[in-house]
Amino acid sequence: MVKKYKKINKKIKSNLKVKRSRLGIWIFLEVVLCVILFSFFPESIFAGVGENNVTVITNLTVGNVFPEFTNLTIEDNSSNVALIPNSTKKIYCSGLATDYNGWNDISYGWGEFFDNSNSLYGEEDDNNIHYTNSSCTIDEESMYSAWINCSFDVWYYANYGTWNCTLFANDTKGREGSGDDTIIISSLLALGLPDSINYGEVNLTEVSLENITNVTNYGNVKINLSLSGYGFKPEDGNAMNCTLGSIKNISIEHEKYNLTDSNEGILDLSQFIANYTNLTSFPKVKEFNLDYRQNDTYNEAINSTYWRIYIPAGVSGECMGNIVFGAVQAPED
Amino acid sequence: MKINKISNYKMVVFAISFILVLTFVSSANIGVSPASIYFKDVLRGGYAEKVVTITVDSIEPTQVTITPRGEILEWVSFEETEFEVSKDNPYYLKIINQPPMDIPNGNYSGFLRVTTSSKGSGVEGQATGIVNAALDLYTEVSITDIEYSSCRAWNFNVQSVEEGDDVPFKVKIYNEGNVRLSPTIKIDIWNQERTEVVKQIEFSEEIVIPTTEKELSINVDSGDLEIGQYWAEITSVECYASETLTFDILEEGALRAQGNLLSVKSPPWIKIGDTTLIEALFENVGEKSVNARFRGEITLGNEIIQILESEISTVGIGDLEAFKFYFTPKKEGRYIITGIVFYDGKRTFEKSTVINVERNGFGVDNLKTIFIYLFLIVLIAYLAYRIKKEQKKNKKRRNMIR
């Protein structure tokens, strides 16, 4: 009986040994699995028993950044720009866009050029105050930077003064950056006139029919006129020289103008004197106040001037003289 | 007969139209820009110049005359007072102001009359007034006795030369001040590797007068420079401007090898695991074909991720060569690709680009990771349960033995 008990006890003990070794394996496996599991986490926390300070490493990766502008210049850093009469002037505006996601992240560039006092970016285009270029070029400069180059065809009647060029750049994620610079558009004094004033055939001691001569403002300032005339050379006191006749000269005061009103039909000498102003040999500035063009579809900056000449006795044949139309900037209102 | 009547009618209409066109066609649309000019802070006895643009809206040349009037009459001058202008050839009139030494400080004004000749002509038996257009340009000069200095430098330039010839450097200077300027130009010449300055030159012999622009030419003796490529850093000291350029000292009669690495291109954004193309574009702008090789690297932070080295390619004169590489990032981050093209014993400027690598969205990889985590956690929990159970059993057995 005792022998049998001892045998059972021995068996239980050996079984217990096996179980213990299996338990050891499981504990080992548990430890290994825990190590594997926690090895996926970063070792970002440092702390020691009894230490007051715990260091935590923080990580942050900045994802997308928007383009930033520097070195924005208009017309190669000129302080001002001159327009061209009756035409357009190409004005160049460029800026260095920097995108720390790489220059090639900049996908689209556009620009607006506008009168700093009378317009804002985002407003509609108007040749006097606002221009838009929606497809500017993007040229690589360095790893993070590209030049955004825009040009604008600016008309002669664009307002003079300080203009702003604002450039925009979009990256491939749709983020937008912008920058701006200013330049002064110079005032432009310009005049458009016909080649001649033809009075036609006029009888002696009669006043010619009215000739209407249009004056066009091809600049961007309001103009007055300074008028003078001569026959053969400046300040000779004549309006015209004729090929035939006993005198051959028409005196300067016989040629007259009216800058505001038309007087149609045939006039006698007294009516002529009453309604028209004498042309002079020396320039005389006359108020004309011809404003510059405002309408983009048609040119309204045109005013008429009205001319007649009296043909005195003693001249004949072909008569020819000179009229000088001088443009002077009119004072600001 | 009817046909004749119609053709006569047409002739009359044509003649009237022609006369009308002649009457209204303007061929003397003259302009001056700006409409007024202001010479600011000109020194007594000093010098200042400005340029105004004179344009005429006429294809045929128009005679223009300049006549000054007013207080400035005595000290204003021009390179030319009579010249021709046409639509395609505007005239840039240089207006020179040289006020006398004894003039008091203050503002002085006058006009410059710009007059055109007319294309009009008389008509036989009629009275005709030829129209001459003129513009009165308002001019104001402020005289001061306070000196100031300021300048601008740009257009730095150097040319490759044959052995023994001087190396010509050029730079443009604009004097924005009101006193004469002797701009100092410093040139540091570096070896090909840019590790050592092999020559230094300082030049300040030319004088640039106020409000004028001048191109300075500096010829550097190349007798002590061996054949090869050099880098030059040109600095305009007073104008706070500098630029780095490269040039070659060539064998006598040698053809010039010159190439540019135009760009290193890649898509700006990709995902982890995506394979992307990196393209380096090289242009042969020299006078002979060259054997070119691209060498570069991809870095992430301070770590070099991949070396980029191409095979040697022969690039013909004026040809473009695209060196292509493929890259598959394994981690997210901002990768920088930089490289140089080596050709004919020379190297180009370094170019670089950026690839931003993003994490993938919630895809199969994420599911795999989550599954592994879950599996590990379940396994650990199961093992813990079994360990605890086994420990209990063992305790019972031990008690039984006792």
Say if A44 is an interface residue toward chain B (CB within 8 Å).
Answer: no
Of B30, B336, B351, the CB nearest to A190: B30
A265-288 burial, b for 16+ CB within 10 Å, e for fewer? eebeeeebeebbebbebebeebeb
Nearest chain A residue to B266, by CA: A104
Domain-located, residue A159:
yes
| Residue listed under structure tokens 């209102």 | A333
Q: In chain A, which residues have their Cβ closer than 8 Å to the Cβ of B269?
A: 101, 105, 172-173
- Together in a domain, A205 and A269: yes
**Contacting B residues, span 53-92, partner chain A, CB-CB under 8 Å:** 53, 55-57, 90
Size of interface A-B (CB pairs under 8 A): 268
What is the edge-to-edge ordering of all strands in the sheet holding B151-158? B151-158, B167-175, B213-220
- Together in a domain, A160 and A99: yes
What local confidence, expressed as pLDDT, does residue B17 receive? 39
In this complex, do A323 and B391 lie within 8 Å of one another by their Cβ atoms? no
Domain-located, residue A3:
no
Candidates B132, B54, B49; CA nearest to B89 is B54
- The CATH number of residue A284's host domain is 2.60.40
A59 contact partners, CB below 8 Å, separation of at least 6? A42, A44
In this complex, do B391 and A23 lie within 8 Å of one another by their Cβ atoms? yes
Per-residue pLDDT of chain B (402 residues; tens, 9 = 90+): 343 444 454 444 434 433 333 333 344 578 898 888 889 999 999 999 998 888 877 778 888 899 998 888 889 999 889 998 887 788 889 999 999 999 999 999 888 999 877 666 767 678 888 888 899 888 899 999 999 999 999 889 998 888 888 899 999 999 999 999 999 999 999 999 889 999 999 988 889 999 999 999 999 998 889 999 999 999 999 999 999 999 999 887 677 788 899 888 888 888 888 889 999 999 888 887 888 999 999 999 889 999 999 999 888 888 888 899 999 998 888 899 999 999 988 889 888 889 999 887 666 666 777 788 788 888 888 888 888 887 887 777 777 666
- The CATH number of residue A98's host domain is 2.60.40.10
Say if B28 is an interface residue toward chain A (CB within 8 Å).
Answer: yes
Q: Where does a domain end: A143, A167, A185?
A: A185
Closest CA of chain A from B111, distance in Å: 10
- Together in a domain, A236 and A270: yes
> What is the number of structural domains in chain A?
2
Largest CA distance in chain B: 153
Q: Which pLDDT tens digit goes with each residue over A244-275?
A: 888 889 999 999 999 999 999 999 999 999 99
Domain-located, residue A8:
no
In this complex, do A240 and B129 lie within 8 Å of one another by their Cβ atoms? yes
pLDDT at A48 over 70: no
Q: Which pLDDT tens digit goes with each residue over B287-305?
A: 878 889 999 999 998 899 9
Domain-located, residue A32:
no
Domain-located, residue A19:
no
- Together in a domain, A206 and A296: yes
- Together in a domain, A254 and A220: yes
Q: Where does a domain end: A166, A185, A204?
A: A185
Give alpha helix (H) positions in chain A. 2-39, 269-275
- Together in a domain, A196 and A325: yes
In this complex, do B33 and A87 lie within 8 Å of one another by their Cβ atoms? no
Structure tokens at A243: 């090929």
* Structural domain containing residue A325: 191-329
What local confidence, expressed as pLDDT, does residue B99 receive? 93
Domain-located, residue A23:
no
- Together in a domain, A199 and A218: yes
- Together in a domain, A195 and A148: no
Domain-located, residue A16:
no
Of B35, B267, B354, the CB nearest to A219: B35
Domain-located, residue A277:
yes
| Angstrom distance (rounded) from CA B53 to CA B32 | 6
- Together in a domain, A269 and A152: no
Say if A103 is an interface residue toward chain B (CB within 8 Å).
Answer: yes
HSE (CB half, 13 Å, CA atoms) of A42?
Answer: 6
- Together in a domain, A259 and A220: yes
Q: Where does a domain end: A185, A209, A241?
A: A185
| Angstrom distance (rounded) from CA A73 to CA A190 | 28
| Angstrom distance (rounded) from CA B329 to CA B336 | 12
In this complex, do A33 and B376 lie within 8 Å of one another by their Cβ atoms? yes
Complex-level ipTM: 0.74
- Together in a domain, A269 and A245: yes
